[in-house]
Amino acid sequence: MPELPEMEIVTRRLGAALPGETVESALAPGINALKTFDPPLHALEGRAFTGVRRRGKLLLLELGDLVVLAHLMSAGRIQLHPKRASLRDKTSRLLLRLPGDRELRVREFGTKQAAWVKVLRAEDADADESFTGLGPEAWPDPPPLRELLDAPRPLHSLLRDQQVIAGVGRTWVDEILNVAKLSPFKRGDDLSDEEADALRAAMVSELGRVIDVYEERVDMPLPEKFPKPTRVHAHHGEPCPQCGTVLEAVFYEDYVMSYCPRDQTEGRVLKDRRLSRLLK
Ligand SMILES: [Zn+2]
């Protein structure tokens, strides 16, 4: 599930590999993930990559005055492959073919067909609706959180809301809240100044820790599965990395929220699915 750390390392790796490379041909096979039609996809052909950047979980591939904007959502992947894919590969959504038989490939591994791509004019890219209302970056230097999270909603929901703060999702939120020793159900408007500062520090250090791990362990070609340097998320039944207490979890339809009852919920074990309505 690509969140800010995964997209940061993808940006760094593609940013080192792509500039100067020319797109020989551009294809969008299979189920349509291309959300724009003007400029057309073939306008990319013959153009060279000039840069790669990231905003939140969104990736921007720059090709002069055109930009390919990609959101991998929960189960998309982007990879620079040394060989071209078979056109029968049903996961392929965008293929940008490069000289020497190489290929930049966006693939979808989910059942919901959620990953998407847009081809935009560079001058329109930053005004795209995907960026409208997007919160400040969660890393490396987010603003103070006391004001930003001042809403009657649980922290687990607020931190994953890209309109509030951009980059955190279901995996790293559990790690951040554990390091900050805050309950996932604590309301944003109940945070003290000290708690807000601790949460900000935990967010910066945890996202930074994960990026450092990727910097060491993720190289080209980008892997289908990233290593997961988690210590809390989906580690229920194992000891808390802070205090050794057995981690607990609340299970939702399509994900799990893990926490330490001793550090985060004053000893209470919250397993009730009905709590899920509090996280909406
Ligand atoms: Zn603990």
Q: How many CA atoms lie within 13 A of 92 on its CB side?
A: 20
Q: What is the pLDDT of residues 53-81, one digit of tens each?
A: 999 999 999 999 999 999 998 889 999 98
Helix-strand-coil percent breakdown of the chain, rounded to 5? 30, 20, 45
Tokens of 132: 């409208």
pLDDT value at residue 182:
98
Secondary structure class of 137 (helix, strand, coil): strand
Query: From the CA of 267, how far away is ligand 1's center (Å)?
Result: 10
pLDDT value at residue 279:
53
**Alpha-carbon gap, residue 241 to 122, rounded angstroms:** 45
**CA distance between the termini of the chain:** 20
280 pLDDT band, cuts 50/70/90, is very low
pLDDT value at residue 110:
87
Query: From the CA of 244, how far away is ligand 1's center (Å)?
Result: 6
List own/partner pairs for 227-231 with CB under 8 A and 24 or more apart.
228/171, 230/171, 230/174, 230/175, 231/175, 231/178
pLDDT value at residue 272:
59
Percent of the chain's residues with pLDDT above 90 = 82
Peptide linkage before 143 cis (omega within 30 of 0): no
Phi, psi of 227, rounded to the nearest 5 degrees: -60, 150
Query: From the CA of 273, how far away is ligand 1's center (Å)?
Result: 22
Percent of the chain's residues with pLDDT above 70 = 96
Query: From the CA of 184, how far away is ligand 1's center (Å)?
Result: 14
pLDDT value at residue 31:
83
Query: From the CA of 160, how far away is ligand 1's center (Å)?
Result: 22
H/E stretch holding 223 reads: none
Query: From the CA of 217, how far away is ligand 1's center (Å)?
Result: 27
* C-beta of residue 184 within 8 angstroms of C-beta of residue 155: yes
Query: From the CA of 111, how far away is ligand 1's center (Å)?
Result: 35
pLDDT value at residue 270:
81
Mean of the per-residue pLDDT values of the chain: 93
Find, among 110, 123, 97, the residue nearest to 28 by Cα: 97
Residue type for 75, please? A
Q: Is the pLDDT of residue 147 over 70?
A: yes
Peptide linkage before 221 cis (omega within 30 of 0): yes
Q: 190 exposed, middle or buried (CB, 10 Å; 0-12, 13-18, 19+)? A: middle
